[in-house]
Structure 1
Amino acid sequence: MKVSVLMTTYNHEDFIRESIDSVLMQRTNFKYELVICEDYSDDNTRAIVKEYKLRYPDIIKLNLQDYNTGGKGTFLSTFKMCKGEYIAFLEGDDYWIDEKKLQKQVEFLDKNLDCSFCGHGYKRYYHETGNFLGNIVHENRKFSLEDFIKEEAKNESNKLFPRLLTIMFRKSALENHPNFNEKVPTVDMMRVILLLEKGYGAFLEDVMGTYRINKDSTTQKDKIKFLERWIQVKQYILEYLPLKYSEDIQMSIEKSIIRKSYSEFIDRFMDPSNSHDIVKYFKTNNFNNIAIYGVGTLCNLLIKKIEGSGVNILHFIDKNTRGDNQINIIEPYEVDDNLNVDVIIITPSFDFNNIREFLKKKTKIKIISIEDILS
């Protein structure tokens, strides 16, 4: 068997048919199997995968759980059922859009024996609105474990972190790997690191799958909890990997902690009961005319909080323009003492120090963080 497609599913009755069909449509010059782990769903998912098993008994294998394991416990038992030289991941709410996806990745790995896995580009689909949010496209390239760790340190959204639905890897690269299920709350990053210990990772630039974003996912529903989990994973990685990676991993942990604090502040700022205190802060400090640096989530919240209060927003300062607002927008390099505002409020508080130091070189206007308003 050349390829095993390892699919995990839980409560995916609305999506699982599309996911399975995207595997069955694959055109290859080799045999492949689909091994589905159904994690004791509350909905009709199990009945659907059983139906497909009856229709495609020579292709589909089922690993039916007796209770809900929460995801982590499903991989190892399903992995052992896979007979392929290569394994491709797919979760039951995502799907592939290129009928030659498996063929292309097999051809790449057959030719590039120094690579333990490869990924590819994908579309992002927001299920609740039915809108596509744009494609994530990777350039054709190889990368090492050191490249991956350095990218994680400098960029919270690691461009070298492949989405699960895009990965195909050599089964031999994960055989006999250490059991870390009980040590980390989520295992995706550890699997990538284990694979990179066995060879290079690689990306194909082809866009061959669709990643479905659901409002009920952990990432969307509770960002603070999501960040807490990632901090725990990175702390484990800090202990696991050799000392030469420690500085970059520690930097990544610190950035995640700052992001978590930022998310916690957004939750506090959204509380309707503090609107009076926010307006009082501006009045007490005689901040009648203001400029806001950054046009993200906190900027929009601040606009709503002070609406009708007599506090005037004269400028937005941002590297990007925002066409749906009539207030004057200037780029950071245009800031000077002629803005005619009492204060500049920096909303990306996680990068406050760097932004403040840049602005202090441009103007003597008072500069504060948005977090000062609720301190």
Structure 2
Amino acid sequence: MIDIKEETVMENWDYSKYIEPLVAIVCLTYNHELYIRDAIESFLSQKTTFPFEIYIHDDCSTDGTVSIVQEYAEAFPGIIKPIYESENRWKEDYGASYLFHKEITKRKYQAECEGDDYWTDPHKLQRQIDYMEEHEDCSLTVTNGKRLNVLSGSISPVFEENEIEISKRNGKYDLNNFYLLKYPPTASHVYRREFLEGVEKAMSPCRASDFRNRLFLMTKGYVYYFSEETCIYRIDVKGSATSSWKNFDIPQQKDINEEYVRMLCEIDELTKRQYTDSIWKVKKEYISKKLGCGSFSDIFKTTENKKVFHEMSIYFKIRTILKIIMPNWLYVFIYLRDR
């Protein structure tokens, strides 16, 4: 366990300014026995002038995760608030964990980091909260980070250096240019809790709730991006959601891409089509992936499908048609090759 005491974590907290925790760190974990210590200790290593609390929500792990969480909860009782499930809620309902946290973590800000990821910058939380306290129209802050492949050990930036407009420059993003921001690591998310109120009524349940929440938050304010690499996002973790998606069969792949398209359509409707052009730049990517998991008739089923297919390069048209004709072996060759 980390060589630090609870009073050391709290030593710079300004109780004259904050009578209760300003931030709730939410960590959803499931069978993360190999990784959860890194996550918890990275939270406890944060240097802040404001109090925070840590909610570690174990989703009915079957390995040794629970005993590790209990160990830290006993050592840091004033900071760590464990939540233990008797059944796996994520499998039952994609939105269950968010709805549950909404009722429990009633703090001004919420920070997210799943149990197989962790933070690498002890000033991450202070930097993001300082900005949001000074800019009330900012609904979400995110940062750069690194991907760590647990199988190969390779490490790479989430935003590569050739993505100049992203990787090295702080900046604002909203629904006009969110397609440039692409997919910031969920472990970097810090948002205003009140701005996420109503998302479960406005948008459909989905597996990619981080993507959905990010879109919804952009209807309430802008996203501020910090170029500092503040977190590690582990990939190819056994049992993780994104790892399991890589093993989906073609109908399941079609379903997940349809979910993304539906989310983007819902945001377009929520914003009364003010951002249709920028939303289309992202939506067409998922329509393209969806077409490769369907049939010939899907290509001509809607105007948007036809438009996407028409705009494809010859290479991608051939690739899409081949996936339709011979989906099983080509899926293995093309899709799983990129794991």
Fold shared by both chains (TM-score > 0.5) = yes
Match of 1:184 in 2: 206
Q: Deviations over 1:75-123 (max 9, x none)?
A: 2212322243211100000000001111111111112222111000101
Query: Separation in 1 of the partners of 2:60 and 2:321?
Result: 48
Conserved? CA contact 1:13–1:44, under 8 Å: yes
Match of 1:232 in 2: 259
Pick one of 14, 20, 25 that aligns with 2:45.
25
Instruction: Report matched runs for 1:1-375 at 5 Å.
Output: 1-70=21-90, 72-136=95-159, 137=167, 139-148=169-178, 151=179, 159-179=181-201, 183-214=205-236, 216=238, 217-222=243-248, 224=250, 225-226=252-253, 228-239=255-266, 240-241=269-270, 242-246=272-276, 249=279, 252-262=282-292, 355-356=313-314, 369=318
Greater mean alpha carbon deviation, residues 105-114 or residues 32-41: 105-114
Query: Separation in 1 of the partners of 2:212 and 2:311?
Result: 32
Q: What is the deviation of 1:233?
A: 3.5
Conserved? CA contact 1:32–1:84, under 8 Å: no
Code of the residue aligned with 1:117 in structure 2: it is: L
Higher Cα Rg: structure 1 or 2?
Answer: 1
Query: Separation in 1 of the partners of 2:322 and 2:283?
Result: 27
Compared CA separation, residues 371 and 165, structure 1 to 2 (3 A): closer
Q: Deviations over 1:286-312 (max 9, x none)?
A: xxxxxxxxxxxxxxxxxxxxxxxxxxx
Conserved? CA contact 1:223–1:263, under 8 Å: no
Partner of 1:117: helix, strand, or coil? strand
Partner of 1:88: helix, strand, or coil? strand
Conserved? CA contact 2:257–2:290, under 8 Å: no
More strand per residue: 1 or 2? Answer: 1
Partner of 1:80: helix, strand, or coil? helix
Code of the residue aligned with 2:194 in structure 1: it is: S
Query: Separation in 2 of the partners of 1:139 and 1:177?
Result: 30
Compared CA separation, residues 189 and 372, structure 1 to 2 (3 A): closer
Q: What is the deviation of 1:354?
A: 5.7
Conserved? CA contact 1:124–1:134, under 8 Å: yes
Query: Separation in 2 of the partners of 1:37 and 1:222?
Result: 26
Query: Separation in 2 of the partners of 1:161 and 1:372?
Result: 28
Unaligned ranges ≥5, structure 1 = 152-157, 266-349, 358-367
Query: Separation in 2 of the partners of 1:12 and 1:188?
Result: 19
Conserved? CA contact 2:39–2:117, under 8 Å: yes
Query: Separation in 2 of the partners of 1:111 and 1:64?
Result: 36
Conserved? CA contact 1:140–1:202, under 8 Å: yes
Compared CA separation, residues 94 and 176, structure 1 to 2 (3 A): same
Conserved? CA contact 1:72–1:187, under 8 Å: yes
Query: Separation in 2 of the partners of 1:57 and 1:369?
Result: 59
Unaligned ranges ≥5, structure 2 = 1-20, 160-166, 296-307, 326-339
Match of 2:302 in 1: none
Code of the residue aligned with 1:116 in structure 2: it is: S
Query: Separation in 2 of the partners of 1:30 and 1:140?
Result: 24
Q: Deviations over 1:329-357 (max 9, x none)?
A: xxxxxxxxxxxxxxxxxxxxx98966459
Q: What is the deviation of 1:256?
A: 1.5
- TM-score, normalised to structure 2, is 0.71
Code of the residue aligned with 2:95 in structure 1: it is: K
Query: Separation in 1 of the partners of 2:111 and 2:123?
Result: 13
CA RMSD of aligned residues (A): 3.0
Code of the residue aligned with 1:194 in structure 2: it is: F
Query: Separation in 2 of the partners of 1:37 and 1:11?
Result: 12
Q: Deviations over 1:56-89 (max 9, x none)?
A: 1000012211210115311221232224321110
Code of the residue aligned with 1:159 in structure 2: it is: L
Q: What is the deviation of 1:52?
A: 1.0
